[in-house]
Amino acid sequence: MSSRRSPALAPLFLTTPARRLGVVVSSIATLLAAAILASPARGAGSAAIEEAALYPRDDRRIFGRADEERFRGAGVLMCYTDAGTLERAAAGWLIGSRDLVVVNAHNFIDRSGAPTRPVGDCFFRIAGLDLYFDPETLRLGPPQGAALHITDDWALLRLLWPAPEAVEPQPEPDASGVAAGAPLRVVMVSPAGHGNTRLAATLEDCAIHRIDEATETHIRRARHDCNDGYGGSGSGLFDEKDRLIAMHSASLDMNARRAFDIETHYGSALLFEGDLLAAIREQLRAPR
């Protein structure tokens, strides 16, 4: 394994602390297709959404009921802003069990590792249900004292109570066998949607073009050409057998609408392997 760390995350992260209110909006259909990652966010009462994309090609389509059955465990990290507005922060996944959720670490810390919002300001929305986290269970990917990078941009959280039996989680993922080399066709599933499309939740056929060497956390970064927008962090990348293999973290030159370039214009996702996979397995096997 290489000891090199991947480049630091692009400046996509929300750094404004949030405050929780007592009122919860229960239906995802009442929220506009807005996102809060990394810039002043637009909430449910916002102005019209400007359609945009990373690349000239934009094949995103609506994530529907049949897709929910195909891509199990898809949910939304809902958080309150500092102004008290409830917004969709990012995508998240019920993973391996009905009470374990994986999201990006940058939802809770900045690039230096400093906290940006308490877990209590957020909850997990899935299948029309609002499920709350146990704040004491937050586990962050970056090693103690390390800056946040693509390959450790993950966080695990336990729910206070498991989701109902009707809500199925994603199976335990394992991307350690994904080979580098030829482009890999994938589907990016974005249950929280993107701030640059009117679709509340999307999926898109796209491709991973390069898988970088692993860092010291034994996780590799995948460079892909899937369209993204603010709020798309945490989106899942699925292979042609509908297996979850990676979680989206960040993209370069948001809304540029220019051709994919493997060095200067691409999206980054971290594979489910190494320390992330070990942490998931540890959580799934721990007594509750």
Residue 208 maps to a domain: yes
Residue 63 maps to a domain: no
pLDDT of residue 34: 28
Domain harbouring 261, CATH code: 2.40.10.10
Residue 145 maps to a domain: no
* Per-residue model confidence as pLDDT tens for the chain (288 residues): 433 344 444 333 333 333 333 322 222 222 222 232 333 333 333 334 457 888 889 999 999 989 999 999 999 999 999 999 999 999 999 999 999 999 999 999 999 999 999 999 999 999 999 999 999 999 999 988 788 999 999 999 999 999 999 999 999 999 999 998 889 999 999 999 998 888 899 999 999 999 999 999 999 999 999 999 888 999 999 999 999 999 999 988 777 788 999 999 999 999 999 999 999 999 999 987
pLDDT of residue 50: 57
pTM passes above 0.85: no
Residue 287 maps to a domain: no
d(CA 137, CA 107): 15
d(CA 58, CA 87): 25
Length of the chain: 288
Number of domains within the chain: 1
Residue 118 maps to a domain: no
Residue 193 maps to a domain: yes
Residue 49 maps to a domain: no
pLDDT of residue 18: 34
Phi, psi at 250, each rounded to 5° = -160, 160
Which domain covers residue 223, as residue numbers?
A: 184-272
Residue 247 maps to a domain: yes
